[in-house]
Amino acid sequence: MTDLTSLTIAEARAGLANKSFTARELTDAHLAAIEAARVLNAYVLETPDRAREMAKAADEQIGKGEGGPLAGIPLGIKDLFATRDIRTTACSKILGNFVPPYESTVTSQLWRDGAILLGKLNNDEFAMGSSNETSCFGPVVNPWRREGSNTHLVPGGSSGGSASAVAALLCMGATATDTGGSIRQPAAFTATVGVKPTYGRCSRWGIVAFASSLDQAGPIARTVRDSAILMRSMAGHDPKDTTSVDIGVPDYEAAIGKSVKGMKIGFPKEYRLDGMPAEIEKLWSEGAAWLKAAGAELVDVSLPHTKYALPAYYIVAPAEASSNLARYDGVRYGLRVPGRSIGEMYESTRAGGFGDEVRRRVMIGTYVLSAGYYDAYYLRAQKVRTLIKKDFEDCFAKGVNAILTPATPSAAFGVGEKGGADPVEMYLNDIFTVTVNMAGLPGIAVPAGKDAQGLPLGLQLIGRPFDEETLFSLGKVIEQAAGRFTPPRWW
């Protein structure tokens, strides 16, 4: 039964429907795989009892022919999503043993549709990081290794636990969140599919907030189809999130296999960086050729403000984070470090509870919002953000359906290799993904090839607002041409 974990969601759905196996068997196979893969540190909390309870309920529903679209499908949940009565920490010491008395909207919709919770997945502290090394539970290990090497590589971040668990067959799919690339970059590092939906597509309610104007939830899965299946359950209007958009959720799966003939695909010259590895350049051209062969038309486009997206992001995101994280004061929940006065208690609690990266971002955010600097930094960055969005609007106005770019400027790197001396070195990981968040657009990362060391590389497609369907259709073309990539099991 161990190979049950290697099924896709679509295959498992069929197997459950025709009674080839039960949800309980599928769940037990995953729980055993999780236990055998603790060296990867992908899960920060395993919930086997809850999983078996949910599997029992799913089997009953399937038996009665009343199973939902995800009935019996075991998933992992990023520890940024509040799960009722199950510890939720954002992988920060400051949340301590926080046990939410409520459920995030996105996860509640997954349970509504019959999915099973296997446990909570590791991530960078408060989703701030690109390597999953800032988690208070320690780094996650990528199931991929360089050929002939035992060096532990990072899975990317911030959704590193989600990406690693999906790639290593420790869940059939996972929830993730993306503020500057946190779904797409780890997906690219682990040969998984990651979807960052349009801003407003998925409710943010019950997700620990990082930068509210950029945060968006989405799935990580092993195939484009699986990601479309998960998206349908995760998306939808929620009155509890004022930025959630009130439009219907299409059947994303129906977009898989749809013809892309005649679609115009933008090829932006600004994404060609000096010093970019030749392999990535080659992969990018290959991706263009695959889409062309499927009948799409490739057009050169210009997004002139691309290079300013990352610096503008490093003003906007920390500014919003400094405001969102003001709530961690040691009074209502989480860690408290005692002090003689209330002020001393606040300062000691926050010093003791926040890790280095979070402290750095809260401080820079506080600075750019402070009197005398607001106009020079924050206001200017928000104006640049308008220009970045306009670049995309101009491009789409010319009839471009989607834009093709590399997902990351490199393959996965070693644990402890980057960002030690200069935090900016780590930030550069998100150079191709961050523009999408700044403009509120949907993006998908699809595995497309390997580098000379045998590590996976991904391509990114950027779509028009609320046109995730086109991304699924195009993503499927890339997947079909590139094939799927599975890491050899060493753990």
Q: What part of residues 421-450 is at the interface with other proteins (CB under 8 A)?
A: 422-424, 427, 438-440
Piece of the chain touching other proteins by CB under 8 A; list 6-14, 376-384, 410-418, 477-485: 376-384
CB 107 within 8 A of CB 47: no
Contacts of 385 (CB under 8 A, 6+ apart): 312, 316, 438, 439
Interacting residue with other proteins among 151, 379, 399, 452 (CB under 8 A):
379
Active-site choice (78, 120, 450, 476): 78
Tell me, residue by residue from 200 to 239, as one string, x for binding to other proteins by CB under 8 A and - for no binding: x------------x-------------------------x
Does 394 help bind other proteins (rule: CB under 8 A)? no
Question: Cα(139)–Cα(154) distance, rounded to whole angstroms?
Answer: 8
Q: Which two tokens stand for residue 86?
A: 């199950």
Residue 359 as a binder of other proteins (CB under 8 A): the answer is yes
Nearest distance from residue 179's CB to other proteins, in Å?
Answer: 12
Residue that has been written with the tokens 């969601």 in this structure: 9
* Residue carrying structure tokens 């400094």: 322
Q: Give the distance between the most distant pair of CA atoms in the chain.
A: 70
* Structure tokens, 350: 């926050």
Q: Is the peptide bond before 203 cis (omega within 30 degrees of 0)?
A: no
Which of residues 258 and 360 has its CB atom nearest to other proteins in the complex? 360
Torsion angle (degrees, nearest 10) of CA 238, 240, 243, 247: 20
170 residue type, one letter: L
Cα Rg for the chain, rounded, in angstroms? Answer: 21
Nearer to other proteins, 120 or 476 (CB): 120
List the one residue from 189, 290, 314, 485 that touches other proteins (CB under 8 A).
314
The question of whether 203 is a catalytic residue gets the answer no
CB of 237 to other proteins, least distance (A): 10
CB of 216 to other proteins, least distance (A): 10
**Contact call for residue 93 and other proteins (CB under 8 A):** no
Q: Is 473 a catalytic residue?
A: no
Distance between CA 32 and CA 170 in Å, rounded?
Answer: 9
Decide if 158 is catalytic. yes
Whole-number Cα distances in Å, 96 to 42, 392, 480: 19, 41, 44
Q: Minimum distance between the CB of residue 379 and other proteins, rounded to whole angstroms?
A: 5
Catalytic-labelled residue, pool 104, 131, 159, 182: 182
Q: What is the DSSP letter of 241?
A: S
d(CA 202, CA 8): 23
Total binding residues toward other proteins, as defined by CB under 8 A: 74
Measured distance CA(25)–CA(31) in Å, rounded: 10
Min dist. Cβ of residue 90 to other proteins (A)? 13
- From the list 273, 276, 298, 387, which residue makes contact with other proteins (rule: CB under 8 A)? 387
Q: Which of 130, 158, 227, 410 is catalytic?
A: 158
For the segment 183-202, give every residue that binds other proteins (CB under 8 A).
Answer: 198-200
Give the residue from 272, 280, 309 showing the smallest Cα distance to 392. 309
Contact between 181 and other proteins per CB under 8 A: no
- Please, which of residues 253-312 interact with other proteins by CB under 8 A? 305, 307-308, 311-312
Binding mask 323-352 for other proteins (x = CB under 8 A): ---x--xxxxxxxx-xxxxxxxxxxx-xx-
CB of 210 to other proteins, least distance (A): 15
Q: List alpha helices for 72-124, DSSP H.
A: 105-112
Query: For other proteins, which is the closer residue by CB, 365 or 447?
Result: 365
Q: What are phi and psi of 195, to 5 degrees?
A: -120, 125
Interface characters, 46-85, with other proteins (x: CB under 8 A): ----------------------------------------
Give the footprint of other proteins on residues 106-135 (CB under 8 A).
none
Helix (H) or strand (E) holding 117: strand 116-121
Active site residues: 78, 158, 182
